[in-house]
Amino acid sequence: MQPSSYLEQNKPGEMKQRQENLIRMIRFEDRSKKFRERRQQNETYISLPLEMGLSNSADSSSQAITQKVLEDLMNIEVSISSIEDYFKLIAEQNAVKICSGLIFLRKLLSNQDKFIFQMTIEHPVINTILWLASQEEKPYLKMEALWILANILTGTTYHIEFLFHKDVLSILFKSLKSKFQKVIENALWAIGNICTDNYEFRGKVLEMDLS
């Protein structure tokens, strides 16, 4: 009996699914590489407090996010065993503590571990992160919060749908109107990550009003 051909063994629908899976895997690897490169360039963000007006006379010495503070934070190693501590820091009222928690969590999420993504969105801290990404008074905190969202949006379809239900698209598109380039950049990264997942998400992005 003559062996069946490749086309007979693989129906058109199955071949299309394999092609889509392959494309998705390539896109994921490309995004992973870009995020690893960005993670290695943390030093480019150290000068942002002055640019973003966070280090000003209105802040007390314990609240000021200075260049020295950021240098120290960037050099601290992060661990998943401390993730609950990072969540607690983000929920604090002190700007330096919030900044610390955001940076630590963002560095942890940059490893693109889906389990860590899941832990984050299932914790009440996700609501604080979304609020920080939407506020305008502390643009550096906004930038870090957007970076966290951009990381999570490289996750599974479930992770993206979860943030959709939290109105993440509105937050991202409003952030595009920021006067700070790094805020806009992180919002665009997040939007781009949504668009690379599937056609349905891409369509929702295209439906958004840019005015």
Q: Which tens digits make up the pLDDT trace of 30-84?
A: 655 555 555 444 444 444 554 554 544 444 444 566 777 777 788 889 999 999 9
Q: Could you say which residues of the chain have pLDDT below 50?
A: 1-8, 39-47, 50, 53, 55-62
Kindly give, in sequence order, each residue whose CB lies less than 8 Å from that of residue 174, ignoring residues fewer than 6 positions away: 134
Contact 65, 49 (CB under 8 A): yes
Distance CA 133, CA 151 (A): 13
**Long-range residue pairs from 70-77, CB within 8 A, at least 24 positions apart, any chain:** 70/45, 70/46, 70/99, 70/103, 71/46, 73/99, 73/100, 73/103, 73/104, 74/42, 74/43, 74/45, 74/46, 74/103, 76/104
CB atoms within 10 A of CB 56: 10
pLDDT at res. 66 = 72
pTM of the model: 0.71
